Amino acid sequence: MLLIVGLGNPGGKYADNRHNVGFMAADAIARRHNFGPFSKKFQGEVAEGRLGGDKALILKPQTYMNESGRAVGEAMRFYKLTPADLLVLYDELDLVPGKVRVKTGGGAGGHNGIRSIDAHCGKDYRRVRIGIGHPGDKSRVTGHVLGDFAKADGEWLEPLLDAIANAMPMLAEGKDSDFMNKVSLTMQGKVPAQKEKPASAKPAASKSGGAAPTKKPAAKGKSHIHQARQNGPSIAPPTTGPMAEMLKKLLGKG
């Protein structure tokens, strides 16, 4: 059996917080795959259903984020599950909005819900990291995480939750890469544009609108003096005086 855990904080006050995107994803999965109604169990809300032909359980801990491991651990002990049977969905600051990544094990990355689950259940479970973006300043992280999604975020958030729910059977079958590829393809064109790096300098345009002409390399076998004579303005040789006499001798002209 697969235990799918969505992380968040209970109560209407937190319902639209970025920190509650795990709850949102869990609800989307339950709707998409016709899970039964949520009921109170294991210090959380639980819904039963099937994914990929196998039984699955969705759990939304109601212990508040920092104590999520208590609810998850209780459910795992009841069903005698191992970390390999556990899948956790949660918000990730280090991913841009609309991006999703799956990994097994690793550190908590400063996420208190994950830290709690690690302590109660071990670390070798799969984590579905849902990008919410970083505010850019460490001092603003708490307000960003516990702040509500903006109305404009709905343009990518709703399609993302649907994409996660639709592709969930792939995760149930252990096809993590296929899951990420499907979500990514679905989200193309819906993810917020990111700031691009400055483009490299381009050649200045000529007056005619094209690129400015570049100097041609020196031709092989010709000196710079020869090229200067060839490319520079034509200067008539002197016909009288000492220089004229010398040129006549050098060039063999009488």
Judged against a pLDDT cut of 50, whether residue 175 lies above it is answered with yes
DSSP lists the bridge partners of residue 6 as: 89
Cα→Cα distances 29→23, 33, 57, 60, 212, Å = 10, 6, 11, 12, 58
Q: Parse the chain into domains and list their residue ranges.
A: 2-187
- Write the pLDDT tens digit of every residue in 76-108: 999 999 999 999 999 999 999 989 999 999 888
Judged against a pLDDT cut of 70, whether residue 203 lies above it is answered with no
- What pLDDT was estimated at residue 211? 46
How far apart CA 37 and CA 139 sit, in angstroms, is 39
- What pLDDT was estimated at residue 191? 56
How far apart CA 148 and CA 3 sit, in angstroms, is 27
- Write the pLDDT tens digit of every residue in 11-65: 999 999 999 999 999 999 999 999 999 999 999 999 999 998 889 999 999 999 9
Judged against a pLDDT cut of 50, whether residue 225 lies above it is answered with no
H helical segments located in 130-153: 141-145
Judged against a pLDDT cut of 90, whether residue 223 lies above it is answered with no
- Write the pLDDT tens digit of every residue in 103-158: 999 888 889 999 999 999 999 999 999 999 999 889 999 999 999 999 999 999 99
Judged against a pLDDT cut of 80, whether residue 1 lies above it is answered with yes
H helical segments located in the chain: 21-32, 68-79, 112-121, 141-145, 154-172, 176-187, 224-231, 242-251
Q: How confident is the model at residue 216 (pLDDT cuts 50, 70, 90)?
A: very low
- What pLDDT was estimated at residue 30? 97
User: Is the separation of the CB atoms in 166 and 178 below 8 Å?
Assistant: no
Of the candidates 19, 33, 111, 144, the residue annotated as catalytic is 19
- What pLDDT was estimated at residue 244? 62
For the question of whether the overall pTM of this predicted structure is more than 0.85, the answer is no
User: Is the separation of the CB atoms in 186 and 126 below 8 Å?
Assistant: no
- What pLDDT was estimated at residue 199? 41
- What pLDDT was estimated at residue 93? 93
How far apart CA 65 and CA 95 sit, in angstroms, is 20
DSSP three-state, residue 44: strand
Q: In terms of CATH, what superfamily is 2-187?
A: Peptidyl-tRNA hydrolase (3.40.50.1470)
Average pLDDT of span 167-184: 94
Directed axis angle between helix 21-32 and helix 154-172, to 10°?
Answer: 60
**Which of 50-54, 199-203, 242-246 shows the lowest per-residue confidence on average (mean pLDDT)?**
199-203
Using the CB atoms, write b or e for 61-81: b if 16+ within 10 Å. Answer: bbbbbebbbbbbbbbbeeeeb
111 is catalytic: no
